[in-house]
Chain A
Amino acid sequence: MSQRLVIDPITRIEGHLRIEAEVDGSGVVQKAYSSGTMVRGLEIILKDRDPREAWAFTQRACGVCTTVHSFASIRAVEDALDIQIPKNANLIRNIMIGQQYVHDHVMHFYHLHALDWVDVVNALQADPAETSQIAQSISSWPKSSPGYFKDIQARLQSIVDSGQLSIFANAYWGHPAYKLPPAINLLATAHYLEALDWQKDVVAVHTIFGGKNPHPNFLVGGVPCPIDLNSDVALNAERLSVVGDAIQKMVEFVDQVYLPDLLAIAPYYLDYAGLGEGLGNFLTWGEFPGEDINDASKYLVPRGVILGRDLTNIVEPDPKDFAQVQEFVSHAWYDYSVGDATGLHPFQGETNLNYTGPQPPYEQLNVDQKYSWLKAPRWNGTPMEVGPLARVLMMYASGHEQTRQLTEAVLNTLNAPVEAVFSTLGRTAARAIETKVFVDALQGYYQDLLANIASGDTATFNGERWDPLSWPGHAEGFGFTEAPRGALGHWVVIDGRKISNYQLVVPTTWNASPRDAQGQAGAYEASLVGTPLAVPDQPLEILRTIHSFDPCMACAIHMIDAEGKPLTEVRLGGNTC
């Protein structure tokens, strides 16, 4: 007999995700279904607006990574109107994008993902001297004395004694799938708390270049911060030095805390090097362009597609090819004017909402029908995984030397074969590997920016096409970024100087997509099959794999929800399937 396990909501993610899994009598997942339970609708809001202001609306898709939709938007409009941006603007954008990765990945690791692996309550059993010894053996990070860890432990004890676990309240403490020794649990808990100080310092990069954080300012044609070394209000030497200091703090934390912690924790969870594989198909739109964004060969992260784990053959996808990129709604709560069995390219995309699911509260979704607010994006009809693993594979397969060295070093440390990268652990390690690659690249972009300014170039904005009268009557553009969670694309159609169609295909729509017209599962759905659950009503193992994708449902699907409604966390149905 199999049973239907419902996890709604999945916690410690962005937004609302529901997973329904069919679990067999021995507690192994046989089939899984991923449902986005909120609708977004930004496409509807953007219709008939000025394309130069679209970034300010799309940015609000998320309150955590608050730059990615702006980058995709301004790049889409620049592509449509054939605008080249100045060298300084490209370098500043690259620094902002790099900061976003490092900031987001560290916060994801410690604040959203770590609690799947680290048993905070068990840290109370640790010997602080042992934690100190481990800390000093893996890193030169200065906060590592026995007294420091003892102090953290004492504060944790007082929180536990008070009965208010607060931010740590929502987890399966004591679950048999937690494997770390107490000393490492204490180490990771200390760094969880330290990361909060660190993030406060590193957001300065966005504040300086974009005027504020969260949700910095953007500009079609460049960046909104003029460079004037003699001005108090422009980007001057003082502000540049603050950016330099922030980058230094990022480098130190990644080198001395994040990477050593990952390598200290991973050996206890090697079974996850063989779980959570998923599709084996990967897509990237690419990131960190050189001076010409149209020259994809100069991107640090290549634009590419890998099919069936074949790292010897990277195909370059064409985002404007109507046959290559399509979204399907056969299992999503939308109607297409051409019928639901046909996929539509985003330039022709439609956003006609039609909810046909059960009236809440409901026990389970009818997965043979429509069951999600996420459409199913496909490349040449094939489902794709996007994100850190896709990017690292693309850099690895195209011969990026540092990526190869880091990947091999991690595999050697874990004594794991190269196939181990196609897994939950591989995804989590890839996030750390690319963080190291990007934080080093950040230092390079920063030095390039200083050198270019020192050479006398202070241009940050190209205003040749700012006036709508200079635009063609009809224009189409594709804008992209590799968001922390994966490939993000915006497609804009401009008619009569206004937006006539706008479509966002976001990373989590690729990863969390429902089945398509052919019945092919999305990446989350595929990755859960075969996962054994030690305690089926505490499905920690499912959370580990889903969190390894870093779901961002707020960006995939969006609506205003009355906060604080009581929601069932985990339910077990007795259905025989």
Chain B
Amino acid sequence: MEILAEKMTESRLNVVSKSTQAGQGARSVLVLGLGNLLNSDEGLGVHAVRALQADRAADFPQVTFLDGGTLGLNLLPLVEDSSALLLLDCVDAGLEPGSVIELAGDEIPRYSGVKLSQHQTTFQEVLGLAEIRGALPARLHLIGVQPASLALGTELSPQVQACLPGVLQRVEALLQGWISGEGAR
């Protein structure tokens, strides 16, 4: 028991020093792909971030690319720990399917209608909570695509698939601007 207790005291110090180190680098640039992969175009954000992870991550070592799926409230700490946040998501703006929509800062809504359950804590509500808690990232940007289909299915519709390369290019341009310090919000 004593040996275990000794080891635990020792390791507690390790944990503290590790978390201090992590804390220093934590407020960083985060690209978050959102959506449900099971509802075709609803999964746009996840498809996009996976493509970025595969092809572009090496060009942006200082950026974290993350598949946020439908994790809802679980994403709050990640949002609050980032200083610049780029969201990729399917967005219903009432436009032609495949239209690319960009919103920045306060243009991104913090609430999206009746909340049915904690399963459906929408990402906008996560932003709302971060705001009330005074921990919203300084730089906030959303690139979205108007869906053509939300039917059951793990692939994007042809219209939305066709605009994916353009979305990825926009992400790249935006990140380059952010990193070189030119892209004001």
Q: Are A14 and B4 CB-contacts (below 8 A) given A193-B133, A564-B92?
A: no
B116 touches A242 (CB 8 A): no
A164 to B109, CA, bound (A): 8
How many Å from the CB of B153 to the closest CB on chain A? 11
B50 at the interface (CB under 8 A from A): no
A312 to B2, CA, bound (A): 46
The residue among B115, B116, B128 with the most chain A CB atoms within 10 A of its own CB is B116
Closest A residue, CB atoms, query B7? A237
Q: Are A159 and B8 CB-contacts (below 8 A) given A167-B125, A454-B3?
A: no
A303 at the interface (CB under 8 A from B): no
A569 at the interface (CB under 8 A from B): yes
B114 touches A196 (CB 8 A): no
Closest B residue, CB atoms, query A239? B11
A167 to B7, CA, bound (A): 44
A237 touches B4 (CB 8 A): yes
Stretch from A5-13, A93-101, A422-430 forming part of the interface with B: A5-13
Query: What A residues does B73 contact at CB under 8 A?
Result: 196
A229 touches B124 (CB 8 A): no
B7 touches A229 (CB 8 A): yes
Closest A residue, CB atoms, query B152? A560
Which of B114, B127, B131 interacts with A11 by CB under 8 Å?
B114
A241 to B110, CA, bound (A): 38
B36 touches A454 (CB 8 A): no
A64 touches B132 (CB 8 A): no
Q: Are A237 and B118 CB-contacts (below 8 A) given A169-B111, A193-B133?
A: no
Q: Which residues in chain A, 550-574, are within 8 Å of chain B measured between CB atoms? A: 553-554, 560, 562-564, 566-567, 569
A15 touches B3 (CB 8 A): no
A166 touches B7 (CB 8 A): no
A161 at the interface (CB under 8 A from B): no
B114 touches A166 (CB 8 A): no
B15 at the interface (CB under 8 A from A): yes
B119 touches A193 (CB 8 A): no
A14 touches B110 (CB 8 A): no
Residues of A within 8 A of B (CB): 9, 11-16, 63-64, 111-112, 151, 155-156, 159, 164-167, 169-170, 193, 196, 200, 213-214, 229, 236-238, 240-242, 244-245, 450-451, 453-455, 553-554, 560, 562-564, 566-567, 569
Residues of B within 8 A of A (CB): 1, 3-4, 7-8, 10-12, 14-15, 36, 38-39, 42, 70-74, 76-77, 92, 109-122, 124-125, 127-129, 131-134, 150, 152
6 shortest A-B CB distances, which residue pairs? A166-B128, A238-B11, A237-B7, A454-B1, A166-B110, A241-B8
